[in-house]
Structure 1
């Protein structure tokens, strides 16, 4: 154990990492202690407004703590009998979770179905609070889709406003439907990608892409990963047939089943059944780069960057050989995984190990990141696997 009094400049790299882990563990223990003291103050009937002023806590912050006490700590019944925590899985994991993780769990759990707590707590052990929020929002969207309400009589139309500005410039803003927005994004994306030394902001790149798009027609559009601009929509056959449920877009968004059915009426439908329609998906050692059919299959399988906690969509990802090509690894689906550029570099430089289990990637961190090397999985794009054993 590294002494907390040791100045950071005097620590070695390994000692610095150990000290950071110790400091974070201490902060989590302190927050758990804070909640326990607040719970006792409530039980004694103390003036909580005065208690908050004593701690010099913001009202919103103090309210978050009270919510966490109510959800994650044991309570007493009016007759004085002990009651278990409302969310026992989170309660058992309190020493492992930061205050920010608990805030996201408190926000999400009351509106999610039974079973979601296990998934979210598992995710919280290996990812940051923002990724936890994205996962909770995805589960909530799937819950809504499972119990759909009546279809609205008329969908809100596409809206675009134009206004002339001095000097001949034009201001435009609007609100396209999910379907139109997906089509526009698919067309702009290959035109807006940054170059090697591109200093433009994202807004500038998208503005230039829109100007380029106005001048382009059909085959003049550039390719991305070997494909012309297109929409990848993933849904099961039952959803397509019945019109009930949701379809997933390549960028991580969703369309209603009705919108997906409309797209299917005027589209080249690419089946996401791996290996179907005579597409050669396993190329072995015949070539290093993935084929168009393989990339489509990877998009349908991984749905985005497979690295734990990453929400980047599939169209921003590279196909990574789990066993490197230079080491004899084949260009086959069971040796390929989608990774965004950032996490592709992370895997190569820090020697993360990857295994594919049930068609999903499981990542084993290096010891300097996790001495226990517990397996991690991206839960933002698909449900968690049983990783034990």
Structure 2
């Protein structure tokens, strides 16, 4: 039987310094490996971002299982704070260290190894597609979206997809994601009239207006949660005047907030709500308030059913745990895939992702490969 070592592949990928947006050799390595195993591969690079599409089997087959993941990583930060070379892939006492060890070169290695072994040993009646991007940790404008655009152009199709992001908070197998909250950032600019702080009546101070609006928005209860989501959250993340003087009322100040929202809202409905509050306060105070909103992703849910049951059964068989079906956490590229086909996420314990000395137990990499292998076997059986 074929046995591709997912831990060794993880280490090889860690040694590729693929800090967003650099490819770093990671996709070249994977393309060589997958091509050698009979996968049809194509680089889908766009606007300087590197992406890889790989398919085994017939194009557009009615039964096509997809995996999605990324090889780009966040910067290492203070390299001197690391106890190991961030790109050295050092293993100590059964722990593999390096940037991307958890998020998510181990996940990519596990599903690539599982797919290679599966098609080599038990070629299925169907197809397997791997979409691997170098732009998940960046702006995500030319990563998975470019791959999905390419698939439309080439008449490629996934029936279902599993994203291999870390999903377990503490123990392997305890959680999978069947959806994600939406996320938006709102940027406020307040423009009043500058003046001397001893003569406030001659100015129109935008700072109290900023504080009032941020308090007003943050005290508002957006919702109490929905069937599959916790309550939406709103957090004020910065308020700035850039004013070093104590005797000057500034003419301008700015604030930013972030909203993580469930399926009771959309980016558009939340924008309309904020604009209503802005218009009312601007009319009352005479301070001009400009609002700009950037929606990172809308909320989505893949209703529990065939796909989540398939993944949960494989996880339980390999770990002894029944994973919780969750929508918690931040955004992921599943927000793009959900427009293409049903999608869920399952991966490693994510406690050290983005941290100094990011690490993964080698046994977990092998366990993850075993889970992915079982999912493929059960899907095509």
Q: Shorter-chain TM-score: what band?
A: under 0.3
TM-score normalised by structure 2 residue count: 0.22
If asked which structure has higher relative contact order (CA below 8 Å, sep 6+), I would say: 2
Is the radius of gyration larger for structure 1 or structure 2? 1
TM-score normalised by structure 1 residue count: 0.22
